[in-house]
A = this chain, B = another copy of it.
Amino acid sequence: MSGGVEWALHCCVVLTSVDEPAPAARLAQLHDVSPSYLAKQLQALSRADLIRSVQGKAGGYVLTRPPSEITVLDVVEAIEGPGPAFICTEIRQRGPMATPPEACTAPCAISRAMANAEVQWRAALREVTIANLADDVRGDYGPGALAGIGTWFREDS
């Protein structure tokens, strides 16, 4: 799985506690990661309409929806792409004992098993929202953790 997913999720949680637009360079500085590459991930989130870009001098990125309406699955699909991880190449229709195409109306048993597992995976990710993550962070490190990041964005350095 792409490592950019972790960066994107952290950025979404941070955006929860910042009402002003947050520039990509500042987010990269906060996480100590490559600014250029993080910009690419944020562009992917922007294309998926999870965040909106504000141009100009005091511009940056802002969440387009309340954090409780953005799921972890949304972020993962925005970065990794909406397609399934397992792709059936229909090898049952190849070779000397190939299954005739007219008998292949339904996906094969292997494809069904893998697809079902991915459904379970997606369901688990869909149950967790960015707001849930932010609440968990407050519970783990205290309410001031996210608030401190919010104020840090207004400082210079």
Q: Please report A residues at the B interface, Cβ cutoff 8 Å.
A: 1, 3, 5-7, 9-10, 13, 29-33, 72, 85-89, 91-92, 94-97, 99, 103, 106, 108-110, 112-114, 116-125, 128, 132-133, 136-137, 140-141, 145, 148-149, 152, 157
**A96 close to B157 (CB less than 8 A):** yes
**A94 close to B32 (CB less than 8 A):** yes
Q: Which residue from B1, B95, B99, B128 sits with its C-beta under 8 Å from A85?
A: B1
Q: Which residue from B5, B123, B152 sits with its C-beta under 8 Å from A86?
A: B5
How close is A119's CB to chain B, nearest CB, in angstroms?
8
In whole angstroms, what is the CA distance A29 to B30 when docked?
55
> With A95-B29, A121-B118, A141-B99 in contact, do A113 and B7 touch (Cβ < 8 Å)?
no
**B120 close to A124 (CB less than 8 A):** yes
How close is A133's CB to chain B, nearest CB, in angstroms?
5
Listed from nearest, the 6 A-B pairs whose CB atoms lie closest are A109-B136, A117-B124, A121-B121, A32-B95, A32-B94, A120-B124
What residues on B are CB-neighbors of A110 within 8 Å?
6, 9-10, 13, 72, 133
Q: Which residue from B91, B120, B125 sits with its C-beta under 8 Å from A7?
A: B91
In whole angstroms, what is the CA distance A101 to B103 when docked?
58
